[in-house]
Chain A
Amino acid sequence: MQKIITYIKKFAIVAAGVLFTSGIVLPTLFNTSVYAAQMQSRSLTISSSANGNISTDAAGNSVAAGQGGNGAAAKYRFGFIAPGAASTLQSIEFQFCTSPIPGVTCTLPTGMSVASAVLGTSGDAPTGMTGWALGTSGDAPTDSASIDGGTGGRIRVTRTNGTNVSSDTASTITFTTIKNPTSDNYAFYVRILTYTSTSYTTQRDYGTVASSTAQQVDITAKVQEKINFSVGTTITAPTAACTAYSDSGALALGDTNGILDTATAYAAVSYFRLNTNSVNGAIVQYSGETLKSGSNSITAINGGTETSGGTSSTPGTAQFGLGIDTTDASYSFTQLAAVANPAYGSGGGTITAGGTAKFNFNPASKTTPITLASSSGGVTCDTASVRYLGNISTSVPAGIYQTTITYIAVPTF
């Protein structure tokens, strides 16, 4: 008896389950599409997965509607194959819901809005089945349509076309200016229902597509102010890395023993190399005194007065000057340019009496640096060859003469 009672209980439970499933769940699931065919190859391509609050990039720049960084005005392109059948297809309804299942209460995804949707034209015009027009009046796009007992977004399109869609027809329909849900990484669904009539009655096909917003990846990179400036006296190739000079900067001026002579002019060369990303240009200055030995000195060329064209060498006369030698093999100005007046770019040429090389030197540079070269923008890797002239007269006392010329790069960022 107990077993019988147990069987009866089990039977009752199973029967109740079957009844519940067949009477409630199944009708709910297939309520609106029980007679409809499911469309194949359904897709929804959205122009942006950014959430609907985003219409600017990481730097705050506006992103145009329909572009990847604009979730506030996105483009939705639906693709599907309308099944071939002996019936027309004259209206379509797109339902925007948090659930994909037709018959289940439709709720508009949080923050989403389709009310401003516009049917695509030109390159976004419908393909396959054509002739669609956006619903108007009560069929206009809305965020508050009553759908399956809930309130969801809805876009309707219709066309008047009495021809049966008798074969499978791949089609696309695109809408613009749809606002995505306003949460990141948020899945949402669009139920697509087709009808044989122009009035969204007599359902023909159905299908659901899914999409999702996604967290954007904001990539930020910083480029810091940069200056690589070096000075040397030993020839060093710049290479691709704009290698800096690293020698001691020692430079002997004179014959092989570093000795000047009243009858012969001597010259020596040092180098500077600049690389900077200064957008507003850069200048290179020199600062220093003429050659000195205790209280004695070798007079700066032309008495230390700069001239527009520079001054030639005059052996037998005390002269110390400098100029950029554009003929030197190491010289490589691309962005920098030597100052032309007073001439600091004419150090190349002969240094015999009245020679073609021209020099200037301003001893006041010791306290007020003198600009030697400049650029209007950044400098990739420019190398200057600075040529120094040394001449003496018999009135220059014997001694070891020295000076230190400091080069200063001033970039303006």
Chain B
Amino acid sequence: MISDMVLDYPRSIRRLLLLGVVIYFGLSSLPNHANASALDNRSMNVHDTAVSAVTQHDFSFTMPAGVSVGSIRIEYCTEPLPVLACVGPTGLDASSASLLSQSGETGFTMLPPTTNVMILSRPPALSSAGTAVYTFAPVTNPSPLNSFYARIELFPTVDATGPSSDYGAVASTTTRGVHITTEVPPILNFCVAVTIPGDCSTANGSFIELGDLSPAQTASATSQMLIGTNAPFGYTVFVAGTTMTAGTKTIAALGLPSVSQKGSAQFGLNLRANTTPNVGAEPSGVGIATATPNYGSPNHYMFGSGDIIATSAGSTDYNTFTHSYIINIPSNQTGGIYSTTLTYICTGSF
């Protein structure tokens, strides 16, 4: 029996040594900041919190005064508590991050980062009290929709080894963005009336009475049209109809832009403010549409059914055009009630 016990001593010693080694390494692997002071006013600002976003992370905290700081370790973990082993958040990747800026306590360079650890290093120096801010990018956010944490530690050593002097954790979370969707339909807002003082809801009137025509007097009148479109290739406005007609009798239309001549048979229109006669108004509105040359010259009038009278080169906000009509008759104009119906057609090019 005694002999057996003696023979067991080497095994017992070996076990004891093994246990000692295990305990030593077990203890040495634990976070070494049991006596670290807390960092105050610490925050982590993730510029884009979408999952897996590649973005910038800013870290801010109050640097304590008079602490020998040789390195700062920022370690991303799934838990903030230092007593728990750090597990890097799934999907988070700081291995490509670089130090974009530093303020407050400065003089740091960045050691090669790992997936979840970034270390700033400098020759150890006593710190000054104040707000310290360090920004890093690119950092890939965690892939799950969840909270994640970063542990910030100050070390007197240049490589974040040994006990830390100060410690603090910060939290952030990945989030869903608000995905706003809307549709802008093809828009062609177009209206014609005798008067349109505002938008198309204010359009008023469709009948123009010119009274008795006279060779000595140019009859004139106006109507308006309001147009706006988001057609990317703009729009064209056509005029369709006949000249002034009374049965088989007509007042000749002006086939070319012409000035008004009393005593001549003339029916025409343009889209400008005129002085001879004094009729019409300049196009208004913030849109980009214009009258075509044949219908855009003041004091020159013409009419041809199917003519394009106004165009826009692209999408345009509203323009209001005023149609200026003139009618002249010769002295031998056959009596009758002359009339016409003009139709304006706007075509958007989407």
Contacts and interface: CB of A to CB of B under 8 A. Distances in A.
Nearest to A368: B47
Contact of B180 (A228, A229, A245, A253): A253
B45 A400 contact: no
Given A224-B81, A229-B175, A410 B44 contact: yes
Given A280-B41, A395-B315, A413-B43, A258 B80 contact: no
B181 A258 contact: yes
A398 B186 contact: yes
Contacts of A263: 199
A253 B182 contact: yes
A243 B78 CA distance: 21
A280 B176 contact: no
Contacts of A411: 43, 170-171
B230 A394 contact: yes
Contacts of A257: 183
A412 B171 contact: no
A287 B230 CA distance: 28
B143 interface: no
Nearest to B82: A222
Given A225-B171, A395-B315, A406-B177, A262 B189 contact: yes
A85 to B, nearest CB: 61
Contacts of A404: 50, 177-180
Contacts of A261: 185
Q: Of A226, A233, A253, A410, which is in contact with the most chain B CB atoms at under 10 Å from its CB?
A: A410
A401 B181 contact: yes
A227 B172 contact: yes
Is chain B's binding surface mostly helix, strand, loop or mixed?
strand
B34 to A, nearest CB: 12
B65 to A, nearest CB: 18
A316 B47 CA distance: 34
A386 to B, nearest CB: 8
B107 to A, nearest CB: 24
Contact of B187 (A228, A398, A408): A398
A260 B183 contact: yes
B147 interface: yes
A400 B48 contact: no
B40 interface: yes
B228 interface: yes
B176 A232 contact: yes
Contacts of A254: 182-183
Contact of A251 (B41, B168, B179, B184): B179
A259 B182 contact: yes
Given A259-B184, A394-B318, A398-B184, A225 B170 contact: yes
A249 B177 contact: yes
A317 to B, nearest CB: 9
B228 A262 contact: yes
B180 A405 contact: yes
A224 B148 CA distance: 12
A97 B42 CA distance: 55
Interface string A258-292: 11111100101010000010101000000110010
Nearest to A288: B177
A73 to B, nearest CB: 26
B253 interface: no
Contacts of A352: none
A113 B340 CA distance: 125
Interface in B42-91: 42-50, 60, 79-81, 83
A388 interface: yes
A58 to B, nearest CB: 13
Contacts of B229: 394
B317 interface: yes
A84 interface: no
A399 B350 CA distance: 11
Contacts of A252: 180-182
B39 to A, nearest CB: 9
Interface residues of B, number: 49
Given A398-B187, A398-B230, A412-B43, A390 B182 contact: yes
A410 B45 contact: yes
B178 A397 contact: no
B52 to A, nearest CB: 13
Interface in A376-413: 386, 388, 390, 392-413
B232 interface: yes
B301 interface: no
Q: Of B42, B60, B181, which is in contact with the most chain A CB atoms at under 10 Å from its CB?
A: B181
Contacts of B199: 263, 316
A388 B180 CA distance: 9
A225 B199 CA distance: 58
B43 A397 contact: no
Contacts of A231: 175-178
B131 to A, nearest CB: 11
B184 A399 contact: yes
Interface string B121-152: 00000000000000000000000000101000
A298 interface: yes
Nearest to B46: A408
Contacts of A238: none
Nearest to A317: B317
A413 B171 contact: yes
B173 interface: yes
Given A395-B316, A404-B180, A411-B43, A224 B169 contact: yes
A251 B43 contact: no
B316 A402 contact: no
A251 B181 CA distance: 6
A250 interface: yes
A225 B149 contact: yes
A230 interface: yes
A248 interface: yes
Nearest to A367: B47
Nearest to B174: A229
B184 A401 contact: yes
Contact of A407 (B45, B175, B189, B350): B175
Contacts of A287: 47-48
A225 B169 contact: yes
A341 interface: no
Contacts of A402: 179-182
Q: Of B46, B180, B185, which is in contact with the most chain A CB atoms at under 10 Å from its CB?
A: B180
29 contacts: A224-B149, A224-B169, A226-B171, A227-B171, A249-B176, A249-B178, A250-B181, A252-B181, A252-B182, A257-B183, A259-B185, A276-B171, A280-B43, A287-B48, A392-B187, A394-B189, A394-B287, A396-B184, A398-B185, A398-B186, A401-B181, A401-B182, A402-B182, A406-B178, A407-B177, A409-B49, A410-B46, A412-B42, A412-B60
Given A225-B169, A386-B178, A411-B171, 13 more contacts: A224-B169, A229-B175, A245-B176, A248-B176, A253-B182, A259-B184, A262-B189, A291-B180, A367-B47, A393-B317, A398-B183, A401-B184, A406-B48
